[in-house]
C-alpha cells in the first residue's frame, strides 16, 4: 500500500543550498558551478533556495547583492530565490507573535543545525514533500541525480518509513575515501578520525544500492516531510548535526539509509590546520554531548543498550568511555608538538582542552542531553502551527513560488 502510494510523482521538492559571504568573495566561489550542474539535471519541477548564511547584518546585505547577481541568470531555467535577513525576520516575527520566542536564538545564521532547520521550516511552510540539502562547494555530475534522490525517500523499509537518504561525497580524484595525510602526524596516534571514517565509508562499495549507515553528509541528504515534521536538527550540537539527525531518526522509528548511487563531487577549499586545538575542542563538545544523548535514548527505551557499539567504526569509536583518555593523550601530545614549534598560545589552549573534556564538556553534555527532547516536542507543535498560518504561508509561497 505504502509503496503504491509513494509511487506517484512527488508533489513538491525544495532544494536548499547554503552559501557563505567569505567563500563567495574568494577564489573558491563555486555557487554558479553547482547551479550549472542543477540546470543540467533531467528532472524538473523543483525549487532552489539559496540560504545567505552570513551572520553580520551589514555584511549580509552586501552578500545578498552578490548572490542575486549569481542566481539571476538561472531563473529562466528553474525556480530559484535566496533566503536572507528579510525572510528570517518574517519567521522571527511569527515566533514572537505565536509564543515561540525560545526559537529566536536557535533559528539564526551561522550554526550548522540552525541553517539546516531554516531549510526545514521553509520546506514546511511551502508544503514540500521532501527537502534536498546541498552545499555551495559541490558539483552534480549525474544528470539522473534528482531522479535517484527522490526514488525511495518516503517509502516503507522493513516496516518503517524511509525518512532520510544519505548520499556521499567523492573528491576531485574520484574517491569516496578521505586522504590519509592526517595520519602521518605523529600526535594523532590516539585520535585517528580519518582512519575510522574511511572504515565506515567502505559500505559505499556495497553490491546493493540501499544500505544501513552510521554516517550522513549534510551536503548530500534528502529528507521526507514525515521525518522533518517530527524531527529537527539538534541546535545543541556544535558539529556533526547530520549524523546526529540520523541517530535521532533511528531512535524515533524512522529508517535512514545510504544510497550508493547518490554521489556528488565535493570540492571543499583546502583547509589550514594551524589551530588543531580548536578543532579538537569542538570534537570534545560534540562527542561528549552525543554520547550523553544516546545514553538518554537508551534509558528511554528508544535505542537498544548496544546502540553505541552498533555505531562502530564511526562515529562509535569516539562515543565510548575510552574516548576521554584518547582525547586527553592527544591534547597532551599536540601541546608538546606546539611547544616544539614554539607556538606557545597553542600549547596553552591544548592543555586547556584537557580540562574542558574532563569538566566543561561533560557538564554541558549532561545538562543539554535532556533539552533536546523538549526542543523536539516544541518543534512538532511549531511546524503544525506554521503550516496553518495563512499569512506566513502566503508570504513565502509568493516569495518562493
pLDDT tier, 18 (very low <50, low <70, confident <90, very high otherwise): very high
| Range name among 58-67, 246-255, 291-300 with the lowest pLDDT average | 58-67
Assigned C-alpha cell, 28 = 573558491
Query: pLDDT (tens digit, 9 = 90+) per residue, 130-189?
Result: 999 999 999 999 999 999 999 999 999 999 999 999 999 999 889 999 988 755 688 999
Residue carrying C-alpha cell 580519518: 194
Distance CA 393, CA 315 (A): 39
Q: Tell me the whole-structure pTM to 2 decimals.
A: 0.94
Would you state the pLDDT for residue 271? 65
Torsion of Cα atoms, 137 then 142 then 147 then 151, to 10°: -90
Pick the CATH number of 13-170+211-269+376-400 from 3.40.50.150, 3.90.550.10, 3.40.50.300, 1.20.1260.10: 3.90.550.10
Domain ranges within the chain, ordered by starting residue = 13-170+211-269+376-400
Cell numbers standing for residue 139: 558539483
366 has pLDDT over 80: yes
Q: Work out the number of other CB atoms within 10 angstroms of the CB of residue 11.
A: 11
Give dist(CA 317, CA 58) in Å, integer: 43
- Among 153, 307, 157, 124, which Cα is nearest to 231's? 124
- In angstroms, the Cα distances linking 111 to 94, 143, 309 are 21, 31, 29
Closest CA to 367 of 300, 289, 287: 289
* Cell numbers standing for residue 359: 569538566
Residues 317, 196: Cα–Cα separation, whole Å: 8
Query: Which residue bears the cell 539571476?
Result: 72
pLDDT in tens, 173-186: 899 999 887 556 88
Backbone angle region of 159, left / alpha / beta, with phi > 0 → left and psi within -120 to 50 → alpha:
left
pLDDT tens digits for range 71-118: 999 999 999 999 999 999 999 999 999 999 999 999 999 889 999 999
pLDDT, tens digit (0-9, with 9 covering 90-100), for 44-56: 889 999 999 998 8
CA 141 remoteness from chain centre = 21
Helical axes 112-125 vs 241-251, angle rounded to 10° = 60
CA distance 6 to 4: 6
Band the pLDDT of 5: cuts 50, 70, 90: very low
Mean pLDDT of the chain: 93
Amino acid at each position: 500500500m505504502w509503496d503504491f502510494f509513494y509511487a506517484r510523482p512527488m508533489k513538491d521538492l525544495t532544494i536548499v543550498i547554503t552559501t557563505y559571504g567569505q567563500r563567495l568573495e574568494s577564489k573558491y566561489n563555486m555557487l554558479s558551478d553547482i547551479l550549472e550542474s542543477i540546470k543540467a539535471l533531467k528532472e524538473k519541477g523543483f525549487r532552489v533556495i539559496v540560504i545567505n548564511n552570513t551572520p553580520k547584518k551589514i555584511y549580509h546585505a552586501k552578500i545578498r547583492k552578490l548572490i542575486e547577481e549569481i542566481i539571476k541568470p538561472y531563473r529562466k531555467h528553474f525556480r530559484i530565490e535566496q533566503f536572507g535577513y528579510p525572510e528570517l525576520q518574517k519567521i522571527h516575527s511569527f515566533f514572537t507573535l505565536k509564543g515561540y520566542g525560545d526559537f529566536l536564538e536557535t533559528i539564526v545564521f551561522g550554526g550548522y543545525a540552525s541553517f539546516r532547520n531554516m531549510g526545514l521550516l521553509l520546506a514546511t511552510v511551502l508544503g514540500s514533500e521532501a527537502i534536498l540539502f546541498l552545499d555551495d562547494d559541490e558539483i552534480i555530475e549525474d544528470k539522473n541525480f534528482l531522479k535517484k534522490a527522490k526514488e525511495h525517500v518516503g517509502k516503507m523499509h522493513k516496516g518503517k518509513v524511509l525518512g532520510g537518504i544519505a548520499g556521499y561525497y567523492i573528491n576531485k580524484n574520484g574517491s569516496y575515501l578521505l586522504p590519509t595525510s592526517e595520519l602521518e602526524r605523529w600526535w594523532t596516534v590516539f585520535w585517528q578520525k580519518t582512519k575510522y571514517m574511511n572504515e565506515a565509508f567502505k559500505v559505499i562499495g556495497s553490491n546493493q544500492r540501499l544500505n544501513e549507515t552510521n554516517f550522513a553528509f549534510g551536503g548530500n541528504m534528502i529528507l521526507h516531510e514525515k521525518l522533518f515534521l517530527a524531527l529537527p536538527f539538534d541546535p545543541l550540537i556544535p558539529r556533526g548535526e547530520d549524523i546526529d539527525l540520523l541517530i535521532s531518526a533511528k531512535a524515533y522509528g524512522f529508517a535512514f539509509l545510504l544510497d550508493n548511487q547518490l554521489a556528488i563531487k565535493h570540492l571543499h577549499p583546502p583547509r589550514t590546520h594551524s589551530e588543531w586545538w580548536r578543532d579538537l575542542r569542538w570534537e570534545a563538545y560534540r562527542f561528549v554531548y552525543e554520547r550523553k544523548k544516546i545514553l538518554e535514548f537508551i534509558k528511554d527505551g528508544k535505542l537498544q543498550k548496544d546502540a553505541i557499539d552498533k555505531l562502530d567504526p564511526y562515529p562509535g569509536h569516539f562515543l565510548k568511555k575510552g574516548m576521554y583518555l584518547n582525547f586527553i593523550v592527544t591534547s597532551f601530545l599536540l601541546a608538546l608538538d606546539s611547544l616544539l614549534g614554539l607556538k606557545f598560545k597553542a600549547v596553552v589552549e591544548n592543555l586547556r582542552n584537557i580540562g574542558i573534556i574532563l569538566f566543561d564538556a561533560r557538564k554541558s553534555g549532561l545538562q543539554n542531553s535532556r533539552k533536546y527532547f523538549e526542543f523536539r516536542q516544541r518543534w512538532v507543535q511549531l511546524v503544525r502551527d506554521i503550516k496553518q498560518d495563512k499569512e506566513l504561508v502566503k508570504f513565502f509561497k509568493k516569495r518562493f513560488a
